[in-house]
Structure formats: C-alpha cells, structure tokens
Amino acid sequence: MYYGEIKNCDIANGEGVRVTLFVSGCTNHCKDCFQPQTWAFDYGQPFTKETEEYVLSLLSPSYINGLTLLGGEPFEPENQRALLPFLRRVRAAYPEKTIWGFSGFTYEELTTPGERPNCEVTEALLSLLDVLVDGRFVEEQKDPSLRFRGSANQRLIDLNASRKAGRLCFLPDRKRT
C-alpha cells in the first residue's frame, strides 16, 4: 500500500484533534474529487513498518483523539489487507482513541458478499472502526455546511452504536458553525 500524506493535528476529518492517513488508490473516481492524484495506487510513498511506527508515535499525545483513514480509498481490497494489521496495532496501543474511516463505498456495498469492496478482511477492518463516513462524493449534493463530509448523501455511521443496536445508527447531523 502507498500513502499520499499523513496529517498531524487534523481537526477537519473527525471529532477532536486527529492524525489522518491519506491512503493511495481509488477506483471510485468521483466527479470533482478533491484529491484525484490519490486515485493512483502508487501515488506517494510506500506504507512501511517505519511509517507505521511514525503514525503510532503521532497518536501518543493525550490531546490526540484518534486516527482517521482517508484516501484515495481505504476500502479498496488491497488497502484493507494492508490496513488491518496496522489498525490492530493502533487498537492495542491506544484502546481509548477512536478510529474513523472515510469511504466512497456505502456500508451496504462494504458488507455485501460479492460486492467489489467486500473481501476476506472487510468485516474485521470494520470491527476496528468507531465511525464510518460512507458514500461517494456527489457534486450535485455538495454542502459545505455539513460536518465531516462534502455531500448530503454521505452518512456518519456510528459503528459502535450500530453493533449494539443491530441496525445502522448515525451521529447527530449537526451543521458546521
């Protein structure tokens, strides 16, 4: 797996102060994507053990609320396979921190066997996330007042509450102020 950028102290891509990993590779190719350079699976730098250690060190300060995965597309099957062992390390090292994932795929696409993004590690990867922001960016539904997403079709899925309730539960749909 490759990554395009790592942001420390990100406040735009999840609740609180976060470390954000922008993975490379995306087959969704959303119209007016804000990062089309990340569509290439070899964009940026290889995600190595040294990169993992660096990200883990960025997560250590108490003021960091957690890790956010963006892209590109973290849920491309090849990215899922690379991210799963890393997220297991994050959870083991920082069980109190949250993990958010952004995907152009919907939750339903991710969890339906036979759909392209669903692979042998998808369920395990989703089990490590606290929040999933799902759905492709749709220019015609663009709304800059929405928190943590670009278009109105995208959802903020509270995966912890969803697992407990046995149905999809969403974070409150507050607007940016």
What are the pLDDT digits (tens) for 8-44?
999 999 999 999 999 999 999 988 888 899 999 999 9
- Single-letter amino acid, residue 130: D
Residue linked to tokens 């609180």 = 16
Contact between 49 and 82 (Cβ < 8 Å) = no
CATH number of 2-165: 3.20.20.70
**What pLDDT sits at residue 24?**
98
Contact between 105 and 74 (Cβ < 8 Å) = no
**Percent of the chain scored above 90 by pLDDT?**
89
Q: Among 24-28, 59-63, 147-151, 152-156, whose mean pLDDT is lowest? A: 147-151
Whole-model pTM: value is: 0.95
Residue 5: pLDDT over 80: yes
Taking the C-alpha atoms of residue 91 and residue 62, their distance in angstroms, rounded to an integer, is 15
Residue 177: pLDDT over 70: no
Which segments of the chain does DSSP mark as H helices, in order? 49-58, 77-93, 107-111, 122-127, 159-165
**What pLDDT sits at residue 35?**
87
**Percent of the chain scored above 70 by pLDDT?**
98
Span 88-102, mean pLDDT? 98
Total Cβ atoms within 10 A of residue 113 = 8
